[in-house]
Amino acid sequence: MQSFRSDGAILADPWGLPLSPDLSGYARAFETTPLPQYFLNSVLVTGVVVIVSVACCAGAGYAISKLRFPGSNLVFLAFVGVLVVPAPILLLPVFLISRDLGILNSYIGLIAPYAAGTLPIGVYLMKTHFDAIPASFSEAAEIDRASAWQTFRHVMFPLITPAAATVAILAFMSAWNEYIYALVAIRSAELFTLPIGVADLAAKKFVYGYSPVFAAMVLTAIPVYLAFFLAQRSFLSSLAIGGGVKG
């Protein structure tokens, strides 16, 4: 609401409502900071993270659930074990590994850690969904001489669309909103994502004013609500798969 108020109105009554909406804060947000560049950086990083996370989690979940290789249970327990490790504890090791690999201050320096961070919960969700699919589906595919890849791609993956949508939205929200690691891993302003850019703008609020900061926050939050809405619709439309599994 404060993004529709002028700086004078905000300072006079911080809890007031925008009785006379003022959109100048949005214009000043674009004038005082390269929001389009930050937005494109966030879209690039988040888009790749979502694709990589869904692909890797689906493949790993399918392998652990259906292929049953030696040590598959230990691998699954390792993924589950990482879930209980607080994220701040992993910040320094991830930073040191990224430094040794020479990927700091780059897109891949954000994409790789973000995607890896989604693996534990993503693999868990995918594996449990694959476990719920009867073996008759894969057996029917084998009778039709489908390869393991064809069985996964055309038979099994469409049945776990709800899990894929859930992993996608978790990866999206995690990558889009992540601030702490990006703050220490990115030094070049042209590589800033939206959280870093908005924080930089907020640090200069006494120079540019409060309304541009609130406007930038609103613009940053809109894609999150939109992504959640789209993922929710995808989840609900996929519930009909349950009928196919029961049959």
pLDDT digit of tens for each residue in the chain (247 aa)? 667 777 677 777 777 777 777 787 788 888 888 999 999 999 999 999 999 999 999 999 999 998 878 888 899 999 999 998 988 899 999 999 999 999 999 999 999 999 999 999 999 999 988 998 898 898 898 888 888 889 999 999 998 888 898 899 899 999 999 999 999 999 999 999 999 999 988 888 776 778 888 888 999 999 988 887 877 766 554 444 443 444 4
pLDDT at 246: 42
**Residue among 232, 196, 176, 159 at smallest CA distance from 50:** 176
CA nearest to 153, candidates 59, 245, 24: 59
The neighbour count for residue 92, using CB atoms within 10 Å, is 10
What pLDDT shows up at residue 161? 86
Name, in order, each residue with C-beta under 8 angstroms of 236's C-beta and a sequence gap of 6 or more.
none
Q: What are the backbone angles phi and psi of residue 28, rounded to the nearest 5°?
A: -70, -30
**What's the pLDDT at 241?**
43
Q: Tell me the residue length of the chain.
A: 247
Q: Check: CB of residue 22 under 8 Å from CB of residue 9.
A: yes
Which residue type, as a one-letter code, is found at position 31? Answer: E
**Distance (Å, whole) CA 115 – CA 117:** 5
Burial tier of 72 (Cβ tally within 10 Å: 0-12, 13-18, 19+): middle
Place of tokens 């529709």: 4
Handedness of CA 127, 129, 134, 139 (dihedral sign): negative
Q: What is the pTM of this model?
A: 0.86
Q: Which two tokens stand for residue 128?
A: 């449990």
